[in-house]
Amino acid sequence: MALKGSCIVAQSGGPTAVINASACGVVQECMKHPHIEGIYGAVNGVLGILNEEIFDFRDESPSDIEGLKYTPAAALGSCRYKLKSIEESKEDYARIMEVFKAHNIRYFFYIGGNDSMDTADKIGFLAKQMGYDMRVMGIPKTVDNDLAFTDHCPGYGSVAKFNAAAVMEAGRDTDAIYTSDTCTIIEAMGRNAGWIAAATALARREEADAPHLIYMPETVFSREHFVEDCKEVLSRYGRIFIVAAEGLKDKDGNYITAAAGEFAKDSFGHVQLGGIADILREIVENEVKVKARYNKLGTCQREAMHFASKTDRDEAYLCGRMAVVHAVEEDLTGKMISLVRESDEPYRCTTGLVNLAEVANAEKPLPREWINERGNFLTEKFIRYAAPLIQGEVEVPIENGLPKYIRLNRKAIPKKCPPR
Amino acid sequence: MALKGSCIVAQSGGPTAVINASACGVVQECMKHPHIEGIYGAVNGVLGILNEEIFDFRDESPSDIEGLKYTPAAALGSCRYKLKSIEESKEDYARIMEVFKAHNIRYFFYIGGNDSMDTADKIGFLAKQMGYDMRVMGIPKTVDNDLAFTDHCPGYGSVAKFNAAAVMEAGRDTDAIYTSDTCTIIEAMGRNAGWIAAATALARREEADAPHLIYMPETVFSREHFVEDCKEVLSRYGRIFIVAAEGLKDKDGNYITAAAGEFAKDSFGHVQLGGIADILREIVENEVKVKARYNKLGTCQREAMHFASKTDRDEAYLCGRMAVVHAVEEDLTGKMISLVRESDEPYRCTTGLVNLAEVANAEKPLPREWINERGNFLTEKFIRYAAPLIQGEVEVPIENGLPKYIRLNRKAIPKKCPPR
């Protein structure tokens, strides 16, 4: 006998192209279950719960809900508000339970990365301790692809696809104008893991194609090796195309961008405060003696729904849907939906389940053996892993030459608790 | 009686998404005229002529030639080699004529910006002076859209479309996560004209949509006004989305990025060497007191064929084709093809002709009345101008989830001149 009551879905952390597809999966699946009353959304993630800023998806139009499948970024709103241990964030947890009880929320679907899985786990624990019957399910989301116990994360395939296309195109630019603009550097997201930078390897179909060099946080970044690599590539192709993850680290494990040691000052003695791409640009210009420029796609890379992976989007939707199925039909709680790869060729992937607590405390860097020995490119193993994730394109409606994304109304439901 | 002989086409300056479409137009039109013998391409622009690095499009496959219509960047190769006055660059001009004569080149089609139109003009002048019968035609190309005597330039519609989409998407990111990442800045290309930055206004369909503020080189950039603008937007929407052209200038006409005066040092007293976006980021963080980040799409923006304007591409092709038609069928020389807008709604555009010398010596900034009085956004006049240019999408073949662009073989034809 399934638990009767309302559900709430919240989005957390950095948005992605497909995080709304997961929300859509949750909502559309919930609609099938008559014993789920309110299908609530929290405005701006856990902040919406704390502030009791809640709306009901039953007040949204079905076409807007369907539109979540092709609308990037967090349509519910997101935040970076971090809950700590139950002891340290006691009041926040109490407030969450207060709001849940007031609205008879019996299902909590949290779409996010490992911090969010940690929060979800603690909420589940508290509910149990208080004897409040509820189901808590996590839905993975991160462009960084660094969640453990899942083959990959929804959001990654799309950021991978767009970055690879952007590198392919900027690569053509360098091929065309290398006689004056000889080196191009692309800064890819990734403070702790190199998955996004790595994905641009998919753009290199022939040896001379961009990118020629890819640097990731999983290996030590050496200025000396870097300069050698650049000179070697330059002598071979007459041009250099580099992709660097934001979070490159030196041999002592310090971020290069932290501006300590050999990277601290530029050739004029000025302290460097810029991103990794600008630091590498300066090294190339000073030591390889060719003109270098850099592109930093920033938040554009994680929202590029106009060229997103259909595989990724469909899996994001499936993860949302399956969280509801497991919670409602099987009474499961305290789990995150994982993606389980069954085969590479043909690519087949289903969902699995993993304990929230396990995901919360683990990270998944790129396996060292997927990076070449020199630490400047990927091996065939990585390509086999990543290639299926970027297949297919999400169809986006176009209006006047630009995507027509939806906006939810997010009409507030009446508050039932005293202000926080 | 049309002039018999070979033709050569060359691409110049920064590549664009559609510069190859213009080359395709030239080549496919030339193929229709039996008295045109070799249909040559110069490798890397005028450098290919100087170095006699030339290939024949008759050796390329028709499907690769057709593929130029959807392949970004300069497939023939480009360069930034600048020819000066006939007196100053005497040897270069003599060399060009030597190579032209050796290969019986009677038609020169030069795809580029105003520097290239200047070079083409001088070549035409010299040929006439030497009694060498030839036709010289210019084909406009620049993402900067700053050529005079043409309604707009091939390349602009596509960079406009992609930047608008990227701003729309990054705007959704800011909408979602503004509670922590409150301000986003996008750096758009444009050292002297604000056309590209301006185009992102097309992304703003509702008042709260990104971008909220757009700064262009056509108006004076004041730090004080900028901070006021940011505070006003912040109080209204709770977030700030800014687009800035690279070449913002202060009241004395100096580039902000030139690091003089009030922008020379950051709050720590360090000299600023970064781009405009990083400078604005720092101002926002220090004076508006919210977290700011920036995206710099760099060369990715001008090559984004995966989301390029079909209108732009078709016009680029037409310009190439019409250059041949006028030269071959009407014996015209010394002209650039221009785009002539006949109406906004429905949008209709044909080609016209303008003297190379006129284009060479003029620039076209954004009209002041298309920018609002405050200098921080565009008026309806600009929207009416720009909207038609981004309509339609270029269809790109996809292979394994990524665009499948062509590469020309560029098989060298035998040299006939002594080395330079």
State ipTM: 0.96
What amino acid occupies position A57? Answer: F
CA dist., res. A167 & res. A310, Å (int): 20
**Cβ-defined contact of B169 to A268 (cutoff 8 Å):** no
CA dist., res. A321 & res. A337, Å (int): 10
CA dist., res. A113 & res. A204, Å (int): 30
Task: Scan residues 201-230 of A and list those with Cβ closer than 8 Å to B.
Answer: 202-203
Identify which of B62, B5, B58, B59 has the alpha carbon closest to the alpha carbon of residue B35: B5
Query: Burial letters for B182-211: b for 16+ Cβ neighbours within 10 Å, e otherwise?
Result: bbbbbbbbbebbbbbbbbbbbbbeeebbbb
Task: Scan residues 280-299 of B and list those with Cβ closer than 8 Å to A.
Answer: 293-299
Model pLDDT, residue B263: 53
Task: Scan residues 228-267 of B and list those with Cβ closer than 8 Å to A.
Answer: 266
Q: Is B305 on the interface with A (CB under 8 A)?
A: yes
Longest dimension (CA), chain B: 72
- DSSP conformation letters of B198-264: HHGGGG--STTSSPSEEE-TTSB--HHHHHHHHHHHHHHHSSEEEEEETT-B-TTS-BGGG--GGGS
- DSSP conformation letters of B153-209: -TTHHHHHHHHHHHHHHHHHHHHHHTTTS-EEEEEE--SS--HHHHHGGGG--STTS
**Cβ-defined contact of B393 to A392 (cutoff 8 Å):** no
Q: Which of B74, B169, B299 sits opposite A170 (nearest CB)?
A: B299
What amino acid occupies position A318? Answer: L
Specify whether the CB–CB gap between B169 and A305 falls below 8 A. Answer: yes
**Cβ-defined contact of A169 to B387 (cutoff 8 Å):** no
**Cβ-defined contact of B400 to A393 (cutoff 8 Å):** no
Q: Which of B176, B392, B402 sits opposite A164 (nearest CB)?
A: B402
**Cβ-defined contact of B299 to A293 (cutoff 8 Å):** yes
Q: Which is it for the CA torsion A235, A236, A237, A242, positive or negative?
A: negative
Instruction: Provide the strand spans (E) within B273-419.
Output: 292-296, 335-343, 348-355, 398-399, 402-403
Determine the residue of chain A that is closest to B43 in CA distance: A176
As a residue count, chain B comes to 420
Identify which of A398, A123, A264, A72 has the alpha carbon closest to the alpha carbon of residue B176: A72
Q: Is B1 on the interface with A (CB under 8 A)?
A: no
Phi and psi at residue B416, in whole multiples of 5°?
-125, -5
User: What residues of A are in contact with residue B298 (Cβ under 8 Å)?
Assistant: 170, 184, 293-296
Identify which of A95, A94, A92, A124 has the alpha carbon closest to the alpha carbon of residue A108: A124
Task: Scan residues 84-143 of A and list those with Cβ closer than 8 Å to B.
Answer: none
Q: Which of A80, A202, A304 sits opposite B169 (nearest CB)?
A: A304
Q: How far is B106 from chain A (nearest CA, A)?
A: 26
**Cβ-defined contact of A172 to B15 (cutoff 8 Å):** yes
Q: Which is it for the CA torsion B318, B319, B323, B329, positive or negative?
A: positive
User: What residues of B are in contact with residue A111 (Cβ under 8 Å)?
Assistant: none
CA dist., res. B249 & res. B258, Å (int): 9
User: What residues of A are in contact with residue B402 (Cβ under 8 Å)?
Assistant: 161, 164-165, 168, 202-203, 390
Number of H helices, E strands in chain A: 12, 13
Model pLDDT, residue A1: 66
Q: How far is B305 from chain A (nearest CA, A)?
A: 8
User: What residues of A are in contact with residue B77 (Cβ under 8 Å)?
Assistant: 175-176, 179
Identify which of B266, B282, B9, B309 has the alpha carbon closest to the alpha carbon of residue B135: B9
Model pLDDT, residue B265: 54
Quick one: tokens of B242?
A: 């800014």
Quick one: tokens of A345?
A: 């060729």
Cα distances (Å, whole numbers) of residue A117 to A124, A337, B57, B237, B369: 10, 11, 59, 30, 53
Helices (H), B40-104: 46-50, 62-67, 90-102
Q: Is A365 on the interface with B (CB under 8 A)?
A: no
- pLDDT tens digits in sequence order for chain A, 420 residues long: 689 999 999 999 999 999 999 999 999 999 999 999 999 999 999 999 999 999 999 999 999 999 999 999 999 999 999 999 999 999 999 999 999 999 999 999 999 999 999 999 999 999 999 999 999 999 999 999 999 999 999 999 999 999 999 999 999 999 999 999 999 999 999 999 999 999 999 999 999 999 999 999 999 999 999 999 999 999 999 999 999 999 999 999 999 986 545 555 545 555 544 589 999 999 999 999 999 999 999 999 999 999 999 999 999 999 999 999 999 999 999 999 999 999 999 999 999 999 999 999 888 999 999 999 999 999 999 999 999 999 999 999 999 999 999 999 999 999 999 998
**Cβ-defined contact of A44 to B179 (cutoff 8 Å):** yes
Specify whether the CB–CB gap between A197 and A382 falls below 8 A. Answer: no
Q: How far is A276 from chain B (nearest CA, A)?
A: 12
- DSSP conformation letters of B353-380: EEEHHHHHT---PPPGGGB-TTSSSB-H
CA dist., res. B86 & res. A37, Å (int): 81
Residue among A92, A144, A146, A229 flagged as catalytic: A144
* Packing angle, helices A114-129 and A90-102, rounded to 10: 70
Is A314 annotated as catalytic?
A: no
Instruction: Give the position of tokens 């019968």.
Output: B133
Q: Which of B78, B175, B307 sits opposite A306 (nearest CB)?
A: B307
Specify whether the CB–CB gap between B29 and B325 falls below 8 A. Answer: yes
Identify which of A52, A154, A42 has the alpha carbon closest to the alpha carbon of residue A102: A52
> Do strands B36-42 and B135-140 pair parallel, antiparallel, or not at all (unpaired)?
unpaired
Specify whether the CB–CB gap between A107 and A4 falls below 8 A. Answer: no
**Cβ-defined contact of B400 to A392 (cutoff 8 Å):** no
**Cβ-defined contact of B172 to A405 (cutoff 8 Å):** yes
Q: Within 13 Å of residue B326, how many CA atoms lie on the same side as its CB? A: 25
Q: Which of A11, A180, A293 sits opposite B79 (nearest CB)?
A: A180
* Packing angle, helices B19-30 and B310-324, rounded to 10: 40
Model pLDDT, residue B272: 45
pLDDT tens digits along B274-328: 589 999 999 999 999 999 999 999 999 999 999 999 999 999 999 999 999 999 9
Percentage of chain B surpassing pLDDT 90? 93
User: What residues of A are in contact with residue B294 (Cβ under 8 Å)?
Assistant: 296, 298
List, in sequence order, every residue forming a beta bridge with A109; answer none if it has no partner.
Answer: A9, A137
Cα distances (Å, whole numbers) of residue B220 to B228, B256, B376: 15, 10, 10
Q: Is the pLDDT of residue B266 over 70?
A: no
Q: How far is B147 from chain A (nearest CA, A)?
A: 21
Task: Scan residues 153-212 of A and list those with Cβ closer than 8 Å to B.
Answer: 161, 164-166, 168-170, 172-177, 179-181, 184, 186, 202-203
Q: Which of B173, B302, B307 sits opposite A73 (nearest CB)?
A: B173
**Cβ-defined contact of B295 to A294 (cutoff 8 Å):** no
> DSSP secondary-structure letter at A379?
-
Specify whether the CB–CB gap between A57 and A42 falls below 8 A. Answer: no
**Cβ-defined contact of B177 to A305 (cutoff 8 Å):** no
Mutation for testing the A interface, residue in B402, B406, B408 having most A CBs under 10 Å: B402
Model pLDDT, residue B388: 98
Phi and psi at residue A110, in whole multiples of 5°?
-115, 120
Q: How far is B131 from chain A (nearest CA, A)?
A: 33
CA dist., res. A40 & res. B76, Å (int): 56
CA dist., res. A47 & res. A12, Å (int): 10
**Cβ-defined contact of B169 to A73 (cutoff 8 Å):** yes
Specify whether the CB–CB gap between B101 and B319 falls below 8 A. Answer: no
Q: How far is B171 from chain A (nearest CA, A)?
A: 9
Instruction: Give the position of tokens 């033709």.
Output: B7
Radius of gyration of chain A (CA): 23
Helix, strand, coil in percent for chain B, rounding step 5: 40, 20, 40
CA dist., res. A334 & res. B62, Å (int): 60
> DSSP secondary-structure letter at A287?
I
Q: How far is B4 from chain A (nearest CA, A)?
A: 31
Query: Burial letters for B325-340: b for 16+ Cβ neighbours within 10 Å, e otherwise?
Result: bbbbeeeebbbbbbbe
Q: Which of A168, A294, A305 sits opposite B402 (nearest CB)?
A: A168
> Rounded to two decimals, what is the model's pTM?
0.96
Q: Which residues of B carry out catalysis? A: 144
Determine the residue of chain A that is closest to B278 in CA distance: A274
Specify whether the CB–CB gap between A313 and A21 falls below 8 A. Answer: yes
pLDDT tens digits along B70-119: 999 999 999 999 999 999 999 999 999 999 999 999 999 999 999 999 99
Count of CB contacts below 8 A, A vs B?
Answer: 202
Per-residue confidence at B262, pLDDT binned at 50, 70, 90?
Answer: low
pLDDT tens digits along B391-418: 999 999 999 999 999 999 999 999 999 9
B353 Cβ neighbours under 8 A, 6+ residues apart: B326, B332, B335, B336, B337, B338
User: What residues of B are in contact with residue A398 (Cβ under 8 Å)?
Assistant: 393
- DSSP conformation letters of A323-352: HHHHHHHS---SEEEEEEEEETTTTEEEEE
User: What residues of B are in contact with residue A50 (Cβ under 8 Å)?
Assistant: none
> DSSP secondary-structure letter at A2?
P
Model pLDDT, residue B420: 87
Q: Is B274 on the interface with A (CB under 8 A)?
A: yes
**H/E stretch holding A279:** helix A276-283
Q: How far is B337 from chain A (nearest CA, A)?
A: 23
Q: Terminus-to-terminus CA distance in chain A, angstroms? A: 35
Q: Is the pLDDT of residue B171 over 70?
A: yes
Instruction: Provide the strand spans (E) within B297-395.
Output: 335-343, 348-355
